[in-house]
Structure 1
Amino acid sequence: MRRRRPATVSKFFVGSKLALTVIILVLVQTSILLKQAEGQNVSNITTGGGIWELLLTNAGIPSMHSAVTRYGSVVLLDHTNVGAENITLPGGKCRNTTYDLVLKEDCYAHSVLYSPTTNTVRPLTILTDTWCSAGQFVSDGSLVQTGGGYEGQQKVRIFKPCSTNQVCDWVESTTQTLQFPRWYTTNQLLPDGRQILVGGKAAFTVEFLPSNNEGLVELPFLQQTNDFEDDNWYPFVHLLPTGNLYIFANRDSIIYNYKTNTVVKQFPQIPGNPRNYPSAGSSVMLPLTYSDGYVGVQILVCGGAQLGAYVNHTSQPGCSSTCGKITVTDPNPVWAMETMPIPRCMGDMILLPDQNVLIINGAQNGSQGWGYASVPAFNPVLYQTYNNQSRFLIFEPTTTPRMYHSTANLLQDGRILLAGSNSHQYNTFRNTPFPTVLSLEAFSPPYIVDVDQRTIIQILPAQISYQQSFGITFWDPNPGAPTVTLSVVLTSAPFVTHSFAQGQRLLVLDIVNATVPSHITRKKSITVMAPPNSAVAPPAYYMLWLLKNGAPSIARWVQVLQA
């Protein structure tokens, strides 16, 4: 096929006076509390707690992309064509490029590595533009990052994480390049350890990395879902336990067999508005569990902008308040619609170790784009996966707007790391109602109990193999308390960008044996069955959680590999 370079997107900031914005925010927040909810379960909304903490006032960059490494550190990425950052490259290093619109000689870092243990950042070196790019962790724990804007559209970058007493940095691949310019693309780790790259701006194809001599593959579905404002960039892609892919774009979705390049199943349209960029909904595949052999699959899609909100951004229409859930494995699947207590676009959806879904960040009006949104969604909302009577729980609000180009990641201790927000082409700190945000925050859901009361994983194998059992020895600080539930959960480390966590999945493992000599014994052991195959759990590093009565331990990293 003929290759063509995607055209850049014109984005303009639409401002408003700060005082007016504050008044609107107060009125909207008040109306949310007073209005009668409109869909299923909406009368059963309860309020909860949660704790916010400011970690750093200045992380050096706003985070457009983020990912948690197997050492617990967090890679934060901006894009290079943003102008001056608040952190410089070490040793007087600079990059020189003719592509940058502001700095031809650029001595600033556009990526940093954050350490939750020391609460510090150090600069990392990015050489080509990572604007609206994609990525995945591969089996050895390396973050393989692809595409972007300008000179970065066909680039492949690799970050091999290291411990805190070592130094690691980004490396631009000299052996791999993309076959087509990829901007606003979604990546997914496959059972064979490769990545599949799906769609993007003016990209109606998929490709593989490494390619293994496979060329570009046309996927007409991506062109069919491309409307007058696009609305199908950053498609939602989930690897199913069958090995096929569930792909959602705009309002439509399919099951796609990438091996044969065939659409296995077409699903009905989700009711309401578009859900992908620039409309900016979000999606998760709900937990896969041993109890049904990991075969039951439900997809949840929440939020998004009104159709036309992007092209008519001055009107600032309200974002969607609906969530749709569909059971992929049903013979005749239909969307079950529910109403969130707060309308939201640009929200991030995070699978929590207690198997619920946190919806956080975003705005209540407008869409993605430079200045195209207003009225921040300050309150996180919990989607309670298995509580059909009281689906949503509203948590305490933050005071920091995190809208366009912000991220949310699950940390090893169960907190959620919030970073970024930059609704402008360049870093802008003055004369705007929503300045560029450099701070880092953490949100602790109510499941986080006193550290002294958490179970502590003491012995865990570094690697586990498919369909094999393994042992866990743990310390129970409160053995006299009754154990209502004990569960073991694996969560992946996704690449988070533009309201979607690429590669996110959660597995509930089977506890096949528990050895507890006495209820007062603090040291206990259990035997757990690993996932059955690489379609259920692609080969990678996962966080393993032990939960007692819904309260998670601090996670330990484990590598899932073939025997």
Structure 2
Amino acid sequence: MSSLILALVLTLQCMGLVLAQDALGTWSIVLGNAGISTMHAAVTRFDTCIMLDRTNIGPTGRMLENGRCRDQPQEAILKHDCYAHSVMYRPDLKTVRSLFIFTDTWCSSGQFFSDGTLWQTGGDAEGARRIRTFTPCDASGDCDWVETTTNLTVRRWYATNHLLPEGNRQIVIGGSGQNSYEFVPKRTPTEGVFPLQFLADNCCQSLYPFVFLLPNGELFIFTNMNAIRLNYITNTVTKTYPTLPDNPRNYPSAGSGVLLPLMWQDGFTKAEILICGGAAVNASTKNQVNRLASKSCGRINPLADAPVWFMETMPIERVMGDMVLLPSGDVLIINGARNGFSGWEKATNAVLFPVSYAPYNKVGTRFTSLQNSTIPRMYHSTANLLADSKVLCAGSNTHQFYTYTGAYPTELRLDVFSPPYTRSSFTNIRPGFIKWPAVISYNQVFSVQFGVKALTGTIGVMQHSAPFATHSFSQGQRQLQLRTGPAVLVSGTVYTVDVTAAPNAIVAPPAYYLFFLVQRGKPGTGKWIQQTL
């Protein structure tokens, strides 16, 4: 807890006023041993969470099931390996099942396709050009990873993926030593890679670039301290943006970034991007690893006539933080450290408390420090939004191999942060789905039925993508605020509301999305709906 919040709590206690225990959110450990330290994570339409770590890490905390082992002659550590390096977590039962991954996924990338299949690309060593798929299943299934026979054109280590409006194609951008991008699957049989000089110009702080699909159909690509707008259809850079001040933001500096909610009130034409934190300048150089990280944030409208960065300041410095779009419309900044940069034993002073950022509050009142966790989450950790509107945190391995001693041991526990909107005093105003469509099309007006004990305001609908979270950036993270009509009483505490779907595939590429009903900033439990062409 920050010193300011702590001082406020003590003052209230001295005045005889007790701050509700859950007013700043609560934490709970949901699983004592997931078996792996999660480096990559993605939540599926069945509400399961797929987690991965490196395969070249040696023994993990969990064996593969049913006597399975992996014989991989190109593996660096265990060529005959009976340990799990991927698991599927079920939040409803708080259990994990081992998954079989054959090639090294170290610092790889990923994204869901429109049919809900997760494509996972690249990695290290024998996995650097590999494409793996995972088709999610319900609780009764035995879905697992599949290694495809198709490869990337070049090796991609620390690349970024983004689903394109077609719904059946992704762009894969950058990676260590790769100043280019390519498409999966290819648009033509002979298609290769496309050079991107911008990545070369921002060398060495350009890994895991921040990539966002804008409402005009172009891609905003940020790396190091700079950004461009790319027309990926014509393969041309259409805009170069001012430099974001203060410090590098991409891996290994490990700031984070989000595309703020796209809103129907703006006709889904206004896009704003928020980028926060990261390591200090030259923090990765010798004898500089304890340098204090950045607490600055930059916010920009990339489609404005003359876009500029508007600077704000977080309550505390943070490197390796994760940014999660909450169904309340706020941004949660969670995990990370106060000093150092990304790497094994390269950071200290874990930041235990998350911060929320309210994008449309008055300047100076947008940040709120929230409740402390008891688990440091630093290098190789993740944060993902769940259907119950809580945030699942996993991983943290600041060592080359699994190490259970020292100040920051390898972390196998899973914990969940429950934002303040989940507190019991809000139960009566949190709307819950009763009936909803399984599939919607663009511009469709569809009806949902919901229950709420106290209808006190307008019912909003928030549409969330299913991102691939890794290394302080959630690839493909996207949120839309949809247009809704007035709530109509059915009977008792049951109502219906009409909702207008997103206008096109540029605003919301075809995919499975998690939809939340929200009243006065308080969401209920989300439901998955497939957005189709």
Shorter-chain TM-score category? Answer: over 0.9
Query: In the alignment, which residue of structure 2 is the partner of 1:492?
Result: 465
Query: In the alignment, which residue of structure 2 is the partner of 1:278?
Result: 252
Query: In the alignment, which residue of structure 2 is the partner of 1:550?
Result: 521
Query: In the alignment, which residue of structure 2 is the partner of 1:426?
Result: 401
Evaluate the alpha carbon distance shift between residue 33 and residue 335 of structure 1 in structure 2; reply closer, same or farther with a 3 A threshold.
farther
- The 2-side partners of 1:181 and 1:156 are apart by 11
1:402 aligns with 2:377: yes
Match of 1:261 among 235, 245, 257: 235
1:435 aligns with 2:406: no
- The 2-side partners of 1:169 and 1:332 are apart by 48
**Matched residue type, 1:388:** K
- The 1-side partners of 2:225 and 2:469 are apart by 21
Match of 2:73 among 91, 98, 101: 98
1:138 aligns with 2:127: no
- The 1-side partners of 2:289 and 2:414 are apart by 31
**Matched residue type, 2:508:** A
Residue segments in structure 2 that go unaligned for 5+ positions in a row: 8-21
1:123 aligns with 2:79: no
- The 2-side partners of 1:75 and 1:472 are apart by 29
Q: SS of 1:447's equivalent?
A: helix
Evaluate the alpha carbon distance shift between residue 148 and residue 422 of structure 1 in structure 2; reply closer, same or farther with a 3 A threshold.
same
Match of 1:163 among 120, 123, 138: 138
Match of 1:326 among 289, 294, 300: 300
TM-score by length of 2: 0.94
Q: Could you list the per-position Cα deviations for residues 205-241 of structure 1 after superposition, in whole angstroms to 9, with x for gaps in the alignment?
A: 0000001222200111110111xxx111000000111
Query: In the alignment, which residue of structure 2 is the partner of 1:504?
Result: 477
Query: In the alignment, which residue of structure 2 is the partner of 1:180?
Result: 154
What's the CA shift for 1:312?
2.6
Q: Is the 8 A contact 2:72 2:102 kept in 1?
A: no
- The 2-side partners of 1:159 and 1:315 are apart by 38
Evaluate the alpha carbon distance shift between residue 449 and residue 501 of structure 1 in structure 2; reply closer, same or farther with a 3 A threshold.
same
Q: Could you list the per-position Cα deviations for residues 265-298 of structure 1 after superposition, in whole angstroms to 9, with x for gaps in the alignment?
A: 1110001000000000000000000101100111
Q: Could you list the per-position Cα deviations for residues 160-200 of structure 1 after superposition, in whole angstroms to 9, with x for gaps in the alignment?
A: 010011111001112x2100100000000000121000001
Query: In the alignment, which residue of structure 1 is the partner of 2:310?
Result: 336
Q: Is the 8 A contact 1:305 1:345 kept in 2?
A: yes
- The 1-side partners of 2:495 and 2:462 are apart by 17
Query: In the alignment, which residue of structure 2 is the partner of 1:307?
Result: 281
1:221 aligns with 2:192: no
Q: Could you list the per-position Cα deviations for residues 448-496 of structure 1 after superposition, in whole angstroms to 9, with x for gaps in the alignment?
A: 14385332211111000011111101112234xx22x320010001000
Q: Is the 8 A contact 1:71 1:162 kept in 2?
A: yes
- The 2-side partners of 1:119 and 1:556 are apart by 19
**Matched residue type, 1:346:** M
Q: Is the 8 A contact 2:116 2:512 kept in 1?
A: yes
- The 2-side partners of 1:59 and 1:460 are apart by 33
Q: Is the 8 A contact 2:301 2:308 kept in 1?
A: yes
- The 2-side partners of 1:48 and 1:246 are apart by 36
Q: SS of 1:221's equivalent?
A: helix
What's the CA shift for 1:31?
9.7
Deviates more, 1:99-108 or 1:178-187: 99-108
Query: In the alignment, which residue of structure 1 is the partner of 2:10?
Result: none
- The 2-side partners of 1:514 and 1:57 are apart by 42
Query: In the alignment, which residue of structure 1 is the partner of 2:444?
Result: 468
Match of 2:63 among 80, 88, 109: 88
**Matched residue type, 1:495:** F
- The 1-side partners of 2:301 and 2:45 are apart by 32
**Matched residue type, 1:509:** L
Task: Map 1:411-422 to 2 at 5 A.
Answer: 411-422=386-397
Aligned residues: 513
What's the CA shift for 1:543?
0.3
Query: In the alignment, which residue of structure 2 is the partner of 1:293?
Result: 267
Q: SS of 2:420's equivalent?
A: coil
1:528 aligns with 2:528: no
What's the CA shift for 1:48?
5.5
Q: Could you list the per-position Cα deviations for residues 122-147 of structure 1 after superposition, in whole angstroms to 9, with x for gaps in the alignment?
A: 10000000000000010110110000
**Root mean square deviation of aligned Cα:** 1.6
Task: Map 1:354-433 to 2 at 5 A.
Answer: 354-389=328-363, 390-430=365-405, 432-433=406-407
The alignment-based identity, stated in percent, is 49
**Matched residue type, 1:179:** T
Query: In the alignment, which residue of structure 2 is the partner of 1:6?
Result: none
Deviates more, 1:129-138 or 1:384-393: 384-393
What's the CA shift for 1:247?
0.3
1:560 aligns with 2:525: no
- The 2-side partners of 1:487 and 1:157 are apart by 37
**Matched residue type, 2:415:** E
Query: In the alignment, which residue of structure 2 is the partner of 1:20?
Result: none
Query: In the alignment, which residue of structure 1 is the partner of 2:31?
Result: 56
TM-score by length of 1: 0.89
Q: Is the 8 A contact 1:313 1:366 kept in 2?
A: no
Query: In the alignment, which residue of structure 1 is the partner of 2:14?
Result: none
Q: Is the 8 A contact 1:32 1:341 kept in 2?
A: no
Q: SS of 2:66's equivalent?
A: helix
- The 2-side partners of 1:337 and 1:288 are apart by 21
What's the CA shift for 1:30?
5.4
**Matched residue type, 1:273:** N
Q: Is the 8 A contact 1:59 1:121 kept in 2?
A: yes
Q: Is the 8 A contact 2:120 2:131 kept in 1?
A: yes
Q: SS of 1:173's equivalent?
A: strand
Q: Is the 8 A contact 2:254 2:342 kept in 1?
A: yes
Q: Is the 8 A contact 2:75 2:126 kept in 1?
A: no
Q: SS of 2:126's equivalent?
A: helix
Query: In the alignment, which residue of structure 1 is the partner of 2:291?
Result: 317
Query: In the alignment, which residue of structure 2 is the partner of 1:41?
Result: none
Evaluate the alpha carbon distance shift between residue 456 and residue 252 of structure 1 in structure 2; reply closer, same or farther with a 3 A threshold.
same
Q: Is the 8 A contact 1:276 1:304 kept in 2?
A: yes
**Matched residue type, 1:188:** H
Residue segments in structure 1 that go unaligned for 5+ positions in a row: 1-25, 35-46
Evaluate the alpha carbon distance shift between residue 272 and residue 478 of structure 1 in structure 2; reply closer, same or farther with a 3 A threshold.
same
Query: In the alignment, which residue of structure 2 is the partner of 1:444?
Result: 418
Q: Could you list the per-position Cα deviations for residues 25-72 of structure 1 after superposition, in whole angstroms to 9, with x for gaps in the alignment?
A: x9xx659989xxxxxxxxxxxx95100001111100000000000000
Query: In the alignment, which residue of structure 1 is the partner of 2:16?
Result: none
What's the CA shift for 1:104?
1.9
**Matched residue type, 1:458:** I
Query: In the alignment, which residue of structure 2 is the partner of 1:79?
Result: 54
